[in-house]
Amino acid sequence: MKKLLLVYVFLIGVFLIYVYNYHLQASRIRTVNQEEQTLQGKIEETYVMVTFLSGIDYWKNCLKGFEDAAQALNVSVEYRGATQYDVNEQVTVLEQVIAKKPAGIAISAIDPNKLTGTINKAVEQGIPVVLFDSDALSSKAFSFLGTNNYNAGVTAAHKMAELLGKKGKVAVITLPNQLNHQQRTKGFIETIDKEYPEMEVVTVKDGKGDALASKQAALELLKQYPELSGIFVTEANGGVGVGEAVASFATAKKVKIISFDTDKRTLDMVKQGMIEATLAQGTWNMGYWSLQFLFHLHHRLTPSLPSGYPLLPAYMDTGITVVTKENVDSFYAK
C-alpha cells in the first residue's frame, strides 16, 4: 500500500511536470517565432528626431506620431533640436546625435544645402536617415516625408472658390523667395486660372513671413483693390497680420482669408471668424511614418536594389486638412 502510494505520487508528479514543461516550451517557441517574423524592435534601440526652433508647437504632433510608432514597434525615441533658427546650431546637434550611433535619425532640415554634409556623414556611417517636413534634396537621406506644397495650394484654391461661390477677385500674400511658398502660390494660382473662370488672382505680394509686414501688405491690397473678396496667405505669421488688417479696414463685405498651419493664434482667429480657414499639415503622419521607414532600414526589412540601396519610397505626401470653425477645436496642441 505504501509503495503503491509512492508510485502514485511519482506518476502524478511526472505527469504534471511534463504538462508544465510542454506549455513552457510552447510559449518559448511562440516568442522566438514572433521575434523573427514580427515588426518588433528592442527597447534599447533608439531613434532620434532632430528639429530646429525645437520648442514651437508645430513639432508636437510630429513627435506624437514618432512616439506612437515607437510604441507599436517596441523601440525608444529621443527628441533633439536646435533651439534657435540657426543652421550651425542644428549641424552641431546633428553631430552630437551621430556620435551616439542611434538606430536612425529623422531630421527636418533648416537649410536645404548646409546640412547635406552632416546628413551624408551619418548615412556613410550606416545610420539610416530620413527627412521630414523640410527636405535636403541633394543629401543621401533615404526618403522625404512632407506636405506636397503645390497640392496644398490647390486645396486652398478650391476652398477659396467654395467660400466665394466661385466668383470674385483674390490675392496671395507669400514669401516669394522660398521654394515651398512658391509652390503653394503656384498651385493656388493655376487652379483658380484653370477651374474657376469667374475668379481672378489680381496680385501676389511679399509678406516677409512677418505679421507686421503682412498686415501692411494687406492694407495696401485693400486700398488698391476695393472689390477684393479673398486673400490666401501662405504662412501663419502673415495670416495673423492679414487677419488684423482686414478686421481694421471697413469694407462692405468681409474679405475672406485662408491661412496656413495651426499655431495657437491662427486657430484663435479661425474660432473668432477673423480667418475663414487654415491648412493643417499631416504632422502626425510625418513622425509616424518616419519612424516606420527608419525601423525598416535599421532591420533591413526592405529588399535592396542592386546598388545596395534599400528599396524605400522616395517621397510620402503626408496630406493637408482644411481647418474651419467647425473642426478647429481638435487642432489645438495638446
Q: Does 16 bind a second copy (CB under 8 A)?
A: yes
- The three-state secondary structure class of 172 is strand
Q: Does 284 bind a second copy (CB under 8 A)?
A: yes
Q: Does 239 bind a second copy (CB under 8 A)?
A: no
Residue 6 or 100 having the CB closest to a second copy:
6
Contact range with a second copy by CB under 8 A, out of 96-104, 144-152, 160-168, 189-197: 144-152
Report residue 168 as a C-alpha cell: 470674385
At its nearest, how many Å lie between a second copy and the CB of residue 36?
10
Residue 10 or 85 having the CB closest to a second copy:
10
Q: Are 66 and 288 in contact (CB under 8 A)?
A: yes
How is 207-238 classified by DSSP, letter by letter?
A: -TT-HHHHHHHHHHHHHH-TTEEEEEESSHHH
Q: How does 253-268 read in b/e, with b if 16+ C-beta sit within 10 Å?
A: eebbbbbbbbbeebbe
How many residues sit close enough to a second copy to count as binding (CB under 8 A)? Answer: 56
Q: Are 145 and 132 in contact (CB under 8 A)?
A: yes
At its nearest, how many Å lie between a second copy and the CB of residue 113?
18
Q: Does 281 bind a second copy (CB under 8 A)?
A: no
Give CA angle at 18 (16, 23), nearest 5°.
100
* Residue selected from 12, 32, 56, 137 as contacting a second copy according to rule CB under 8 A: 12
**Span 54-113, contacts to a second copy by CB under 8 A:** 71-74
Q: Are 217 and 206 in contact (CB under 8 A)?
A: yes
Burial of 85 (0-12, 13-18, 19+ CB in 10 A): exposed
Q: Does 138 bind a second copy (CB under 8 A)?
A: no
Contact range with a second copy by CB under 8 A, out of 36-44, 114-122, 189-197, 210-218: 36-44
DSSP character for 252? S
- The three-state secondary structure class of 27 is helix
- Sites of contact with a second copy (CB under 8 A): 1-2, 5-6, 8-9, 12-13, 16-17, 19-20, 23-24, 27, 30-31, 34, 37-40, 71-74, 145, 148, 151, 282, 284-285, 288-289, 292, 301-303, 305-307, 311-321, 326-327, 329-330
